[in-house]
């Protein structure tokens, strides 16, 4: 992952600030300026940066994109490009860091980024949160591993909670940090309401999980973390299973393990790989044809459903999934990463299908089976 990649470059932008409040009303723009916000005021295809008082024209594409974010959105601009935005949509992402204390063998980020990558400076994080509108529909907090920034993550969560920034949250974490009771206690003190933590669990066998995470002892930490988080009763937990050649055969046993040990989890997401970064480098170890992956997923899904645990399938095109399971296939791939094969143009279910990841398409494109 990285900054939310948006294909919008504001060609005429020549402002000197990097975070702005977006406004389509002069009256509201004046209020934002009084409240000490740099403001990006849009009227008649013209942008005016205030209080800098710099104006430039917007193309139709730029204008439509800004309109889609809505009044009061926060936009972060980096070299004319909208690097991140926070508005009244459900796809807002607060990116914390590239770094992670695991190094999953099928991670779409490459190992050097995990080790030495960028962490968003704290003063920028604080400004982004201050500029975010209140009560956004949803905010995802992600990395890397967000807890790699240690105590600062508690401060970020507290700012989000005190500012009533979103109506629901998803935090993606490898969960290892929650094996510490002290961290769990601090987290429970500051966590906003309606908060879901998504944690990957690769297998029910410690050795297999640790081989995939490439972090010795991570199975024990992650499973203790899930248990501790559930015990706080302050958040919901979803378990994420990324299916690879290394764990496919264990899926039914993992499903039984989850039913037995974590019956109170919110849901399980069974996910196809994004073949970039580590996943691409290790493709001979991790790649599994999707038909074969689904054969292993099906009994696991049945076990979870029979035990009243919600399941969803992420990142699998419909033609690799048996029809009775289509209703749990989510449109899970971020819009700018979705690919369809040429053959998909004849498929009558293309609108219902979530497509495949750019990167994974080179493995799947020749085996799609258009539904006619």
For ligand SF4, the binding residues (CB under 6 A) are: 317-319, 340-341, 344, 347, 349-350, 353, 368, 370-371
| Closest CB to ligand SF4 among residues 298, 350 | 350
User: CA–CA separation, 216 vs 3, rounded Å?
Assistant: 29
Bridge partners of residue 77, in order along the sequence: 82
| Closest CB to ligand SF4 among residues 297, 341 | 341
The pair of three-digit structure tokens given for residue 149, joined into one six-digit string: 């920034």
- What is the closest distance, in whole angstroms, from the C-beta atom of residue 346 to ligand SF4 in the complex? 8
| Closest CB to ligand SF4 among residues 137, 335 | 335
CA distances from 38 to 48, 121, 160, 187, 189 (A): 11, 19, 20, 32, 32
Give, in degrees to the nearest 5, the angle at Cα 2 between 179 and 328.
70
- What is the closest distance, in whole angstroms, from the C-beta atom of residue 304 to ligand SF4 in the complex? 23
Task: Decide if 313 contacts 133 (C-beta within 8 A).
Answer: no
- What is the closest distance, in whole angstroms, from the C-beta atom of residue 245 to ligand SF4 in the complex? 21
The pair of three-digit structure tokens given for residue 312, joined into one six-digit string: 């969803």
User: CA–CA separation, 146 vs 171, rounded Å?
Assistant: 8
| Closest CB to ligand SF4 among residues 52, 349 | 349
- What is the closest distance, in whole angstroms, from the C-beta atom of residue 23 to ligand SF4 in the complex? 40
**Alpha-carbon dihedral of residues 335, 338, 344, 345, nearest 10 degrees?**
40
| Closest CB to ligand SF4 among residues 102, 315 | 315
| Closest CB to ligand SF4 among residues 239, 321 | 321
| Closest CB to ligand SF4 among residues 156, 273 | 273
| DSSP labels, 257-284 | HHHHH-TT-SEEEEE----SHHHHHTHH
- What is the closest distance, in whole angstroms, from the C-beta atom of residue 326 to ligand SF4 in the complex? 9
- What is the closest distance, in whole angstroms, from the C-beta atom of residue 370 to ligand SF4 in the complex? 4
User: CA–CA separation, 253 vs 256, rounded Å?
Assistant: 5
User: CA–CA separation, 354 vs 175, rounded Å?
Assistant: 28
| Closest CB to ligand SF4 among residues 201, 353 | 353
User: CA–CA separation, 163 vs 125, rounded Å?
Assistant: 14
The pair of three-digit structure tokens given for residue 64, joined into one six-digit string: 């439509």
- What is the closest distance, in whole angstroms, from the C-beta atom of residue 6 to ligand SF4 in the complex? 24
- What is the closest distance, in whole angstroms, from the C-beta atom of residue 336 to ligand SF4 in the complex? 17
Element (H, E) at 254: helix 251-261
């Amino acid at each position: 992952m990285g900054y939310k990649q948006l294909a919008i470059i504001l060609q005429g932008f020549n402002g000197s600030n990097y975070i702005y409040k977006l406004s389509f009303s002069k009256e509201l723009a004046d209020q934002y300026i009084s409240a000490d916000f740099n403001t990006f005021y849009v009227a008649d295809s013209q942008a005016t940066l205030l209080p800098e008082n710099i104006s430039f024209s917007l193309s139709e594409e730029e204008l439509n994109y800004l309109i889609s974010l809505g009044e009061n959105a926060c936009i972060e601009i980096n070299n004319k490009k909208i690097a991140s935005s926070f508005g009244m949509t459900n796809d807002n992402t607060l990116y914390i860091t590239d770094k992670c204390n695991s190094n999953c063998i099928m991670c779409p980020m490459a190992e050097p980024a995990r080790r030495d990558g960028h962490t968003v400076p704290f003063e920028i994080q604080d400004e982004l949160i201050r500029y975010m509108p209140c009560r956004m529909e949803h905010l995802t907090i992600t990395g890397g591993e967000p807890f790699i920034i240690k105590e600062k993550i508690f401060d970020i969560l507290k700012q989000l909670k005190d500012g009533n920034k979103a109506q629901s949250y998803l935090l993606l974490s490898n969960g290892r940090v929650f094996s510490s009771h002290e961290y769990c206690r601090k987290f429970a003190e500051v966590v906003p309401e309606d908060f879901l933590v998504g944690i990957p669990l690769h297998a029910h066998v410690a050795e297999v999980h640790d081989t995939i995470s490439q972090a010795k002892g991570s199975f024990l930490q992650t499973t203790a973390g899930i248990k501790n988080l559930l015990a706080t009763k302050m958040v919901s937990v979803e378990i994420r299973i990324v299916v690879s050649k290394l764990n496919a055969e264990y899926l039914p046993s993992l499903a039984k393990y989850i039913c037995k040990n974590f019956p109170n989890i919110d849901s399980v997401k069974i996910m196809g790989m994004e073949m970039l970064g580590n996943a691409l480098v290790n493709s001979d170890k991790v790649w599994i044809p999707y038909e074969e992956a689904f054969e292993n997923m099906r009994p696991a899904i049945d076990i979870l459903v029979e035990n009243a645990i919600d399941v969803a399938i992420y990142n699998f095109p419909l033609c690799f999934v048996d029809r009775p399971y289509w209703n749990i296939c989510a449109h899970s791939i971020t819009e700018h990463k979705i690919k369809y094969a040429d053959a998909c143009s004849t498929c009558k279910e293309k609108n219902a299908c979530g497509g495949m990841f750019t990167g994974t398409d080179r493995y799947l494109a020749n085996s799609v089976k258009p539904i006619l």
